[in-house]
Structure 1
Amino acid sequence: MIVRAISGLNEVVGRIVSVFAVGFAAIIIYDVVLRYVFNEPTRWAFDVAKQMFGFYFVMLGGYALRHKAHVRVDIVTEKLGRGAQRVADLLGYVVFFFPFTWVFLTRSWEFAARSWAQGEVTYGAIQMPVYPLKMAMCLAAGLLMLQGVAEVIKLIFDRQEASE
């Protein structure tokens, strides 16, 4: 039940956030056409596309983990049996993944809170607020950590989700 809820949350977030790829691609195409066809570059398109891509990239971490799309080094574990692979994966989560996501979560929270308190904006051609993107980093870290919990539960109980 917990695994299904966490994985479902990351699935929904991933599908919603994937729409941003269309948005920032459209903005890039718009800017390129204006710049090279009409010789009228925009002042805002690069900054907006960059922020949208940052949001897109960071928010898909939990979704990618759910679908096993993160980079893995299986050179050692591919030769092991299923039980030994599970133990190696569990150790990887405990030793590397959870400490990383904890640091990511706590530091991004501090980073976002400071940005929010200062009303931080970009220094480019237009002054866009930065704190929403920094808050998204904190949310993404939480989603990634939650998906890690779901993956560990699946490893402990040696279960695979039906949707994978």
Structure 2
Amino acid sequence: MKNKLFTFLEGIEEFVASFFFIGGSIISLYGVFMRYIVNSPVTWTTEIFETFMVFAIFIGFGMALKDNQHIAVDLLYEKLPSIAKKIVDVIANSLGLGFSVFLTVMGVEMVSVAHQQGGITIDVGVPLWLTYLAMPIGMGLLSFYFLLKLINIFRHWNKEEKTQETNIEELF
């Protein structure tokens, strides 16, 4: 059974990702309508659309990992014995954790530099550091879910076939 806090946070995560995806789609449709139907293009739509989609995608990375919906080629994996599957899962999730932590740190550094430089977007004038927040937020979420998956693997180490398909919700 899911913890109430986890369910609440999951709902926020899904709402924010959906908001950015749907908002970006609506802005894109507005831009197309203005350009091709009204014949009066607005330049800011592309900038906002791209920013919204980047946020939706970066937040979606963690959601996909959490729900085991990422792309996996498991032809060889399925032929492995249970202990080998667990070892592969530990290696894969450790590499994913390391990579996502690295990108989180680099993202924070990128946001910090952009904030210090005071740059703004061309069309809308939004501070660049706000648009760069997608990377540390998304990679931070991805790091969190990789860590939870690793914890889950070790919690179920002695149980049969609790490997790649183990859901993170089982931790709560």
Q: Deviations over 1:127-151 (max 9, x none)?
A: 3322112123112221111111111
Matching of residues 121-160 of structure 1 within 5 Å = 121-123=120-122, 125-158=123-156, 160=166
Give the structure-2-normalised TM-score.
0.81
Question: What is the count of residue pairs matched by the alignment?
Answer: 161
- Asked whether the 8 Å contact 1:10–1:143 carries over to 2, the reply is no
Match of 1:48 in 2: 48
Q: Cα 1:109–1:101, aligned 2, differ >3 Å: closer, same or farther? A: same
Off by >6 Å, runs of 4+ in structure 1: none
1:9-158 counterparts in 2 under 5 A? Answer: 9-10=9-10, 12-94=12-94, 96-123=95-122, 125-158=123-156
- Structure 1 pair 72–11 and aligned structure 2 pair: CA distance change class (3 A): farther
Describe the superposition over 1:58-83 as per-residue Cα deviations: whole angstroms up to 9, x where unpaired: 12221111011222232321111333
CA positional deviation for 1:41? 0.7
**For 2:101, what is the secondary structure of its paired residue?**
helix
In the aligned structure 2, how far is the partner of 1:122 from the partner of 1:142?
24
Give the AA of the match of 1:29.
L
Contact 2:28/2:49, CA 8 A, preserved across alignment: yes
Give ranges in structure 2 of 5+ residues lacking alignment: 157-161
Question: When the two structures are superposed, what TM-score results if normalisation uses the length of structure 1?
Answer: 0.84
**Identity within the alignment, %:** 24
The runs of 5 or more residues in structure 1 that have no matched partner are none
* RMSD between aligned residues: 2.6
Instruction: Give the 3-state SS of the residue equivalent to 2:40 in structure 1.
Output: coil
2:88 aligned partner, one-letter code? A
CA–CA separation in structure 2 for the residues paired with 1:72 and 1:4: 30
